[in-house]
A and B are shown apart, each in its own frame.
Chain A
Amino acid sequence: MSGGSGASPENGGGIGATQAADEAERHQPAHFAFDEESERRIPGILARYPETRKASAVIPLLWLVQEQMRRQTGSAWVPKAAMDVVAARLGMPPIRVYEVATFYFMFNTRPIGRHHLQVCGTTPCMLRGAEEVARACRDATGIKAYGETSADGMFTLSEVECLGACVNAPVLQVDLDYYEDLDYESTVRLIEALRRGERPRPGSVIGRQASAPEGERTTLLDVPGE
């Protein structure tokens, strides 16, 4: 349970939300404004909720902020100035936005690398070699521990809870894409490709189709009537 907030006990012995915010302080931009593309999407989001309940749009709008930051700066995170903008847009007290943004690990409240490597560490992935994947991530990026960003600013490594792709464990989520059926070598290859600016096809790296059994079919082999 780590990921975006950087507020997990694993990466700093009980580092709390405000301390994380303090560390992010020096990176905080003074201003934030929605760009054209975000503005185009906002009316559609707001239309989903009644006017008196528009605070419900806080999560979609924060996500919009994070995606805009990815577009504009290459680092997908939510600055405090943007939380204030969201609060003002939705007519809610800023603290209520801070609470939401710091609660969900998918919102990064401090700057991250260009690619966010999110290693699933939950039981099925762990049993299938998540620790090897994590080791590969550390070796290939030079990152020492979860929550850190590599020296070149390319990668941030996080441990996350179950991503729901257990059938193809172990799983590594890179930004918004899942890479599945990884082992040490394939993870290193993936990271090196990312560093070269390539974007390998998401999904199983061993060519498994969706969640079908690995290799040959093992069930439904007999066709009735044959």
Chain B
Amino acid sequence: MAKVTVDGIEVEVPNGATVLQACEAAGKEIPRFCYHERLSIAGNCRMCLVELEKAPKPIASCAYPVADGMVIRTDSPMVRNARRGVMEFLLINHPLDCPICDQGGECDLQDQAYGYGMDRSRYREAKRAVKDKYVGPLIKTIMTRCIHCTRCIRFSQEVAGVPELGATGRGEAMEVGTYVEQALRTELSGNLIDICPVGALTSRPYAFAARPWELRKTDSVDVLDAVGCNIRVDSRGPEVLRILPRTNDAVNEEWLGDRSRFALDGLKRRRLDRPWVRRDGRLLPATWPEAFAAIARRLTALPGHRIGAVAGDLADAESVVALKDLMTALGSANLDCRQDGAALDASRRDFYLFNTTIAGIEEADALLIIGSNPRVEAPVLNARIRKRAIAGRPFPVGYIGPHGVNLTYPAAHLGEGPAALRALLGAAHPFAETLRKADRPMLILGRGAVARADGAAVLAAAWQLATETGMLRPDWHGFNLLHLFGGQVGALDLGFVPGEGGKDLAAMLAGDVDALWLLGADGFDPARIPPSTFVIYQGHHGDRAASRADVILPGAAYTEKDGTYVNTEGRVQRGYLSVFPPGEAREDWKIVRAFSEGIGKRLPYDDLDALRARLAGANPVFGTIGTLERRGCADTRGPAGDPAALGESPFVLPITNYYQADAISRASDTMAECARIYGGAAPAKLAAE
């Protein structure tokens, strides 16, 4: 530890910390442009100058390591003068277009110019103008505003793992761009907008939409992938205008995937904003009582075991438990939330969770990925793996899955199908040896790898491999299942799987039920539903399943309701209502509750608190919000399934089109544009590293 005095305040910071960090520890705010906590240090903007006693000139605090006994002044005349000089230079070539700049109101340069800028310019020469660059459909560039902090270059190289941005030319001719005018091939490109301290990189879909002070900001949680990124939903009136990440070091740090950030225009399109009832083969608008009556007529005539329910990928835990209770009241145990047919074993929580936790990835020292492309399935989680991979300590990564996948970090390709997994079981395989030797090995099993005929065998084999290679210990749990959407784990936690004598999705689709209640279930082909089945679709988008429905109950999207979601780690998080559901659409649990009353099977909760008490009763994990206990593995008995029954067919990745993977993003024009430009499939070109 080093003892440093900052403006008379003595602080202790670890050796190797920077002066800037010491100043922050003392509670002093240091202006900066190029410095960013999660990127490497560049030290090129010079805004963070401070005075160091006995040093002849001001020092760049972001790039200056502390030493014991340093005396720093952050607010001396010398410091102010130096920063004023830096600001004057920065503003020489920065346009005065704040009134038409989308960064206005949340611009680091604007804010700091209030502190250190002059009220006039001494510069009389011609200002520089820079041609705007094309870096993709999501980011609008106004490169004349660029102050060359190089944050975007470092972000794309270090965090996103796509070294495609750079600074070409030099001096006055220096420009930031890709040089070859191509869209950045990353699923994390939206974060460039957040890290750009000026208005050079702004959001293209949000261009000229609003000023930050006009927006109502609601903290919430993302459900479009299973990471459960913390988000802030900015809305104005009835409209969600943008979605930004919120810092949560345990989950998403401060990043957000492009689908989660930009699919929001899908919240306005193809919405189900009123009930519909099929009469004489045609779906006709209806009122809520008519829709409920149509369902009640049908359901009350059926025995419980002829009714089934499927929970969708984006469903909140409240509506799932309400639907489960309704089905129980109707006498049905035909429940399923595994629309992809994943052979998940819901009997124990660590069979289907990402047990290492996302932050825990940084402690791991070997990784095996089976049948998953985390870059596409959970870009923010993949960034965490990359962070670990470039951290310096060795981190061997093995990968079993299709060829041609670029994970953004080096990975040894071990095979394409379960055969490679079989080879790892047993002694001889060198990568199994690597895992065994590692202190904290982990594996990531993709949900796609268990959504197949031999899924149970794959799950069991992965668990067996985890056992054999020392991943399952009381102090370390290296077995991880990577889910795809924010509603998947919550439904498993609530046991929304076939109960005693209940039928699973495949059986329900085979004609074993006469009525099917789909709660936002768009994850399977509705053509598989037998024509005679009566289908109730409760959801927010007229996506795949709604057109097949006999009754449509309009529900709320994740931005339109207070909901509880569980991410792939098993972290329970709350989302909050940002805007009201459109038209006659209602929060989903209320729909189920209202219907239950109409058929005389009133569910025993009248408000959200009572429902959440019921949630916590169904599974105690719903009583702990936000926090997560690190799990070890005390019981190494594996999930159901016979490892010997592994098939031969190669693994197929579940998400082939990152940008259009769920009902909301399929309705989004922005995402359609991305899918067109990036060719639908994930950016797969191998980067030279």
Interface positions of A (Cβ within 8 A of B): 1, 5, 7-9, 13-22, 80, 87-88, 91-96, 98-99, 102-103
**Could you tell me the distance between the alpha carbons of A9 and B171 in the complex, rounded to whole angstroms?**
10
A-binding segment of B172-180, B370-378, B620-628: B172-180
Q: Judging by beta carbons under 8 Å apart, are A95 and B178 in contact?
A: yes
Judge if B618 is at the interface, Cβ distance under 8 Å: no
Does B107 sit at the interface, judged by CB under 8 A?
A: no
Q: How far is the CB of A165 from chain B (nearest CB, A)?
A: 23
- Evaluate whether A17 and B174 lie within 8 angstroms (CB atoms) in the complex, with A95-B166, A96-B163 already known: yes
Asked if B688 and A91 sit within 8 Å, CB to CB, the answer is yes
The CA of A94 and the CA of B170, in the complex, are separated in Å by 18
Inter-subunit contact B163/A18 (CB<8 Å): no
Q: Across the interface, do B169 and A95 meet the contact criterion of CB distance under 8 Å?
A: no
Once the chains bind, are B170 and A102 in contact (CB under 8 Å)?
yes
B133 to chain A, nearest CB (A): 7
Q: Contact partner of B166 among A22, A80, A96, CB < 8 A?
A: A96
B343 CB to closest chain A CB (Å) equals 40
The answer on a CB contact under 8 Å between B172 and A102 is no
Query: From residue 156 to 195 of chain B, which have CB atoms closer than 8 A to chain A?
Result: 157, 163-175, 177-181
Extra contacts besides A8-B172, A102-B169, A102-B179 (7): CB < 8 Å: A13-B126, A14-B128, A16-B131, A17-B168, A93-B689, A96-B166, A103-B168
**CB pair B126 A7 closer than 8 Å:** no
By beta carbon, the residue of chain A nearest B164 is A95
Selected A-B contacts with CB under 8 Å, 30 pairs:
A5-B173, A7-B173, A9-B128, A9-B172, A9-B173, A13-B126, A14-B126, A14-B129, A15-B173, A16-B130, A16-B175, A17-B168, A17-B169, A17-B175, A18-B175, A18-B177, A22-B131, A80-B180, A88-B688, A92-B688, A93-B157, A93-B687, A95-B165, A95-B179, A98-B168, A98-B180, A99-B166, A99-B168, A102-B169, A103-B169
Expressed in whole angstroms, the minimum distance between the Cβ of A161 and any Cβ of chain B is 11
Residue numbers in A under 8 Å from B172 (CB-CB): 8-9, 14
| Interface of B toward A, CB cutoff 8 Å | 126, 128-131, 133, 157, 163-175, 177-181, 687-689
Candidate in B177, B179, B180 with the most chain A CB atoms within 10 angstroms:
B179
Task: State in angstroms the CA–CA spacing of A214 and B502 once bound together.
Answer: 105
* Least CB separation from A90: chain B residue: B688
User: Does A18 contact B166, Cβ atoms closer than 8 Å?
Assistant: no
CA–CA, A88 and B688, complex, Å:
7
Number of residue pairs across A and B with beta carbons under 8 Å?
81
Nearest neighbor of B153 in chain A, beta-carbon distance: A95
Determine chain A's interface SS by DSSP, over half rule.
Answer: helix
User: Does B167 contact A99, Cβ atoms closer than 8 Å?
Assistant: yes
What distance in Å separates the Cβ of B490 from its nearest Cβ neighbour in chain A?
Answer: 40
Point out the residues of chain A lying under 8 angstroms from B131, CB to CB: 16, 18-19, 22
Whether A102 and B168, one on each chain, are in contact in the complex, defined by CB atoms closer than 8 angstroms, is yes
Given the known inter-chain contacts A14-B128, A16-B130, A18-B168, please indicate yes or no for A98 contacting B173, CB distance below 8 A.
no
Kindly state the separation between the CA atoms of A17 and B181 in the bound complex, as whole angstroms. Answer: 12
CB distance from B42 to the nearest CB of A (A): 14
> What separation, in Å, do the CA atoms of A98 and B174 have in the docked complex?
12
Set B169, B180, B689: member contacting A16, Cβ < 8 A: B169
State A110–B688 Cα separation when bound (angstroms): 25
Closest 6 CB pairs of A and B: A17-B169, A93-B163, A95-B166, A7-B173, A17-B168, A102-B168
Whether B166 pairs with A17 at a CB distance below 8 angstroms is no
Separation of A15 and B130 alpha carbons in the complex (Å): 8
Give chain B nearest CB distance to A84 CB in angstroms.
Answer: 9
Q: How far apart are the CA atoms of A91 and B130 in the complex, in Å?
A: 31
Residue of A nearest to B171 (CB): A1
Q: Bound state CA distance, A99 and B178, in angstroms?
A: 10
Are A16 and B126 in contact, with the CB atoms below 8 A?
no
Q: In the bound complex, do residue A98 and residue B128 qualify as a contact, i.e. CB atoms below 8 Å apart?
A: no
B157 to chain A, nearest CB (A): 8
CA distance A99 to B124 in the complex (A): 31
Which B residues are in CB contact (< 8 Å) with A22? 131
> Which residues of the other chain, A, contact B171 by a CB distance below 8 angstroms?
1
Task: Give A96 to B687 CA distance when docked, in angstroms.
Answer: 12
Residues of B within 8 A of A17 (CB): 168-169, 173-175, 179
Q: Which residues of A contact B133 (CB under 8 A)?
A: 18
Residues of B close to A92: CB separation below 8 A: 688
Among B126, B129, B170, B689, point to the contact of A103 (Cβ < 8 A): B170
Nearest CB in chain A to that of B181: its residue: A18
Q: How far is the CB of A88 from chain B (nearest CB, A)?
A: 7
A191 CA to B164 CA, complexed, in Å? 42
B157, B173, B181 — most chain A CB neighbours (10 Å): B173
Closest to B175 in A: A16
B149 CB to nearest A CB, Å = 16
Smallest CB gap from B157: residue in A: A93
Distance of A182 Cα from B164 Cα, bound (Å):
45
Chain B residue at minimum C-beta to C-beta distance from A103: B170
Which residues of the partner chain B approach A14 to less than 8 Å between Cβ atoms? Answer: 126, 128-130, 172-173
How far apart sit A17 and B171, CA to CA, in the bound complex (Å)? 10
CA distance A99 to B148 in the complex (A): 14
User: Nearest Cβ distance between residue A103 and chain B, in whole angstroms?
Assistant: 5
| Cβ-defined partner of A98 (8 Å) among B130, B157, B166, B687 | B166
With contact pairs A8-B173, A93-B689 given, residues A18 and B164 touching in the complex (Cβ less than 8 Å): no
Chain B residues, Cβ within 8 Å of A99? 166-168
By beta carbon, the residue of chain B nearest A95 is B166
Q: A17-B169, A103-B169 are in contact. Are A95 and B129 (CB under 8 A)?
A: no
Chain A residues whose C-beta falls within 8 Å of the C-beta of B179 in the assembled complex: 17-18, 21, 95, 98, 102
CA–CA, A17 and B168, complex, Å: 6
Chain A residue with the shortest CB-CB distance to B165? A95
Q: How far does the alpha carbon of A22 sit from the alpha carbon of B157 in the complex, in Å?
A: 24
Measured in the bound complex, the distance between the Cα atoms of B178 and A17 in whole Å is 11
Give Cα distance in the complex from A98 to B133, angstroms: 15
Q: Which residues of B contact A93 (CB under 8 A)?
A: 157, 163-164, 687-689
Nearest chain A CB to B406's CB is how many angstroms away?
Answer: 13
- Name the CB-closest residue of B to A19: B131
- Whole-angstrom CA separation of A95 from B168 in the bound complex: 8
| B115–chain A nearest beta-carbon distance, Å | 29
Query: Would A94 and B168 be within 8 Å (CB), given that A18-B175, A18-B179 are in contact?
Result: no
* A121 nearest CB across to chain B (Å): 15
- Smallest distance from the beta carbon of B464 to chain A beta carbons, Å? 37
